[in-house]
A and B are shown apart, each in its own frame.
Chain A
Amino acid sequence: MRFMMLMIPKGYETATPGTMPDAKAVEAMMKYNEELQKAGVLLALDGLHPPSMGARVSFRNGRATVTDGPFAEAKEVLGGYWMIQVKSREEAIAWAMRCPGGDNETIEVRQVQEFEDFPADVQKAAAGFEQMQKQVQGGAG
């Protein structure tokens, strides 16, 4: 089973461009990341630049609109993520609890959808992509 651990640092929603975490926090986090790796459960991780450097794209009636950050109405924003591979929801939570998070930090644990999770009609819709590819390529394969 795969899970994402989404880091939500309170205050990051107003962080100025180029904001970086402090060295001590980084050191503690590096140790944690190493633990995840040594345990064989870490698949991926990344930190994200603050929303002030980002943009939001929203949709209405099939049309897209862009808004540059920061986003006044956002109360919680992502600071980074880990993707881990574990046997259960409880194990994912156990790992999240080991993170040396600060007082302002929350980790949201979310299970990754696997293809088999989808109901038959969604799988079929996704499978149609392959057929389309074949037709476009003139049946080569």
Chain B
Amino acid sequence: MSTEIHRRIEAVFRIESPRLIAGLARLVRDVGLAEELAQDALVTALEQWPRDGIPDNPGAWLTVAARRQAIDLIRRKALHERKEEELTREIEEQLQMSVPDLEAELDDHVGDDLLRLIFTACHPVLPTEQRLALTLRLLGGLNTDEIARAFLVPEPTMAQRIVRAKRTLSEAQVPFEVPRGEDMAQRLASVLEVIYLIFNEGYSATAGDDLMRPALCEDALRLGRVLAGLAPEEPEVHGLVALMEIQASRSGARVDGKGAPVLLMEQDRARWNQLLIRRGLNALRRAEELGGALGPYALQAAIAACHARARAPAETDWNRIATLYRALGQITPSPVIELNRAVAVAMASGPAAGLAIADALVKEPALKSYHLLPAVRGDLLHKLGRLDEARGEFERAAGLTRNERERALMLERAGKCVLTR
């Protein structure tokens, strides 16, 4: 039974747990064990704090409690990484530290420890779904039930997923460290991918979903901001944060009064959150100021920023968007990006120019069942007055989409392709 004081203690723990787990993981060299110790410390806190009050420095208190448990646990389990006596002695020494010294020691290591924890939770040896779950558990401060609800699986399933992730890391003897040199780029890409996947899971939530789902956008943003503070010299981190801030800025405008999705160009821009837009533009500027060519997240953020800066649809800088899509397509070639470029070019230079690009995609096998290709071609053909061909394209799009609203819209547009005489 959760009382007010228990909820407050849990809130404090949510704030402290990433750093707590990270510091313990550095010590015991195993994130699974570190998390167990952190949970034990929480249990102790739930027992003692209602009686004694929440301590002034809860982080230090929890660390001491966890390290005491560590000594007990180490004596009961066999640790392969470090000699038992050596580790026990080290922890005992630290337990002798005065509180200000302990706080200073924690402060010194905390940035590095958190980075190590992020990279470990997102390690490529884990399947993606385990990376998502473990990241939310260890760094997001979510409990298993919350993560289960967010991903629409039963709680025991999620619990198993997390257990398996920890076991894999243990068995693979994944070192608790920040990657160096050549590894860094790929490992960082894995971290950014995890964060963005969490964001997209939240972004795809629909009205009526468990509230944990749209909250995933906030969880991802929080993780991204933390990472930006820990790795400020990495432009793609700022790029990802920028992209998420700006996308999140539109959440109040994405859905109409009846719960139907509203296209970006038709959204009520008065409902775009200007604070998040400003934060996104600032993060994008930081990415740009770090120099070098923009990476894929920063480019996507730059495209989102073009829309965000336009107070009305007519003010959109389509030329810039087209240029950005071209740059994006050069780093991460994709027919979908090319199709988006076609739309931007059409807006900037007229439907014929855009259609030329879209026509070249007709033979693309990847887009064979992609309803947006005929939808875009239909729109451009309509603008060029080629109504018979436009109708054909809209009908093809209607046949390809599985979304009822989309189908209705495509059929409606097909119906309007009639020459008036």
Footprint of B on A, CB under 8 Å? 1, 37-41, 43-44, 83, 85, 87-88, 90-91, 93-95, 97, 114-115, 120, 123-124, 126-127, 129-130, 133, 137, 140-141
Q: How many A-B residue pairs have CB under 8 A?
A: 69
**Measured between C-beta atoms, what is the minimum distance from B318 to chain A in Å?**
15
Distance between Cα atoms of A43 and B222 in the complex (Å): 10
A130 in contact with B268 given A38-B229, A44-B275 (CB within 8 Å): yes
Q: Does B181 contact A (CB under 8 A)?
A: no
Interface 0/1 of B352-383, CB less than 8 Å to A: 00000000000000000000000000000000
Q: Does B296 contact A (CB under 8 A)?
A: no
Interface 0/1 of B205-243, CB less than 8 Å to A: 000000000010010011111100110000000000000
**Measured between C-beta atoms, what is the minimum distance from B115 to chain A in Å?**
12
Contact present for B8 and A93 (CB under 8 Å): yes
User: Given the complex, which residues of B lie within 8 Å of A91, measured CB to CB?
Assistant: 11, 14-15
Q: Does B99 contact A (CB under 8 A)?
A: no
User: Given the complex, which residues of B lie within 8 Å of A41, measured CB to CB?
Assistant: 222
Tell me whether chain B's interface is mostly helix, strand or loop, or mixed.
helix
A40 in contact with B8 given A83-B275, A129-B268, A141-B265 (CB within 8 Å): no
Contact present for B270 and A129 (CB under 8 Å): yes
30 contacts across the A-B interface (CB closer than 8 A): A37-B225, A38-B226, A38-B229, A39-B15, A39-B226, A40-B221, A40-B222, A40-B224, A41-B222, A43-B275, A85-B221, A87-B14, A88-B11, A90-B8, A90-B10, A90-B11, A91-B11, A94-B8, A95-B15, A114-B252, A115-B252, A115-B271, A127-B256, A129-B268, A129-B270, A133-B268, A137-B312, A140-B314, A141-B265, A141-B266
**Measured between C-beta atoms, what is the minimum distance from A59 to chain B in Å?**
23
Contact present for B222 and A85 (CB under 8 Å): yes
